[in-house]
């Protein structure tokens, strides 16, 4: 019990340090434009991209869950992350329009305004989850193992003047400052998926 309280306190301190807030804070605010997308938690350290894709597929009205996607599309190697090209190919198989592109911040805002969530690749070394101990299928691991070579995928689902709302498959739905996100957005790469 004391260990759990200690871990919660550390996470709260870290959360304030990195200026991320959980969804309860922004749902009450009228300053946010937000898409209603349910979070999909990743199961293994390498399936953040597939978890993001599962959330978007469900957002567009298809019934799928992450374990089914993993079963249908296992990773090429036992613990390798999915590439953005693999995620696009899976989306294409589900008859979605999907585009990998390099874009800028105004493009993200435009897509959210149009009701289109976007998968973004962030640099895990400067990630807002760096150093947090995460739990995957009853195994605690340090997130430094998350997608070592690729990065970490999140879905941008909302914005305000100073913040973005993201569905992070490791943490859930959180807000992150615009500046912090832009520092972490790896090569401005994104995957846009729509019907």
In the chain, the domains with their CATH numbers are 21-194 (3.90.70.10)
Tens digits of residue pLDDT in 164-184: 999 999 999 999 999 999 999
Residues of the chain with pLDDT under 70: 1-30, 77-79, 124-150
Of 39, 6, 13, 17, the closest CA to residue 169 belongs to: 39
> How far apart are the C-alpha atoms of 54 and 75, rounded to whole Å?
15
Q: Which residues contact 104 (CB under 8 A, 6 or more apart)?
A: 188
Write down the pTM of the prediction: 0.77
Is residue 121 within 8 A of residue 189, CB to CB? The reply is yes
Q: Report DSSP state, residue 96.
A: -
Is residue 55 within 8 A of residue 40, CB to CB? The reply is yes
Q: What is the pLDDT of residue 123?
A: 84
Of 19, 17, 11, the closest CA to residue 176 belongs to: 19
Question: What angle in degrees, to the nearest 10, is found between the helix axes of 48-59 and 84-93?
Answer: 30
């Amino acid at each position: 019990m004391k260990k759990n309280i200690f871990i919660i306190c550390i996470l709260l301190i870290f959360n304030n340090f990195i200026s991320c807030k959980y969804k309860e804070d922004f749902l009450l605010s009228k300053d946010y434009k937000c898409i209603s997308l349910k979070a999909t938690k990743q199961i293994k350290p390498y399936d953040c991209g597939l978890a993001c894709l599962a959330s978007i597929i469900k957002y567009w009205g298809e019934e799928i869950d992450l374990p089914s996607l993993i079963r249908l599309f296992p990773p090429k190697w036992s613990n390798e992350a999915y590439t953005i090209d693999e995620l696009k190919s899976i989306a294409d198989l589900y008859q979605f329009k999907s585009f990998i592109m390099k874009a800028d911040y105004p493009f993200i805002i435009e897509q959210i305004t149009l009701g289109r969530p976007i998968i973004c690749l962030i640099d895990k070394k400067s990630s807002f989850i760096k150093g947090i101990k995460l739990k995957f299928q009853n195994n605690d691991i340090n997130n430094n193992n998350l997608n070592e070579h690729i990065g970490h995928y999140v879905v941008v689902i909302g914005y305000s003047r100073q913040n973005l709302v993201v569905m992070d498959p490791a943490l859930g739905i959180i807000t992150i400052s615009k500046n912090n996100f832009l520092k972490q957005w790896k090569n401005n790469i994104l995957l846009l998926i729509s019907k």
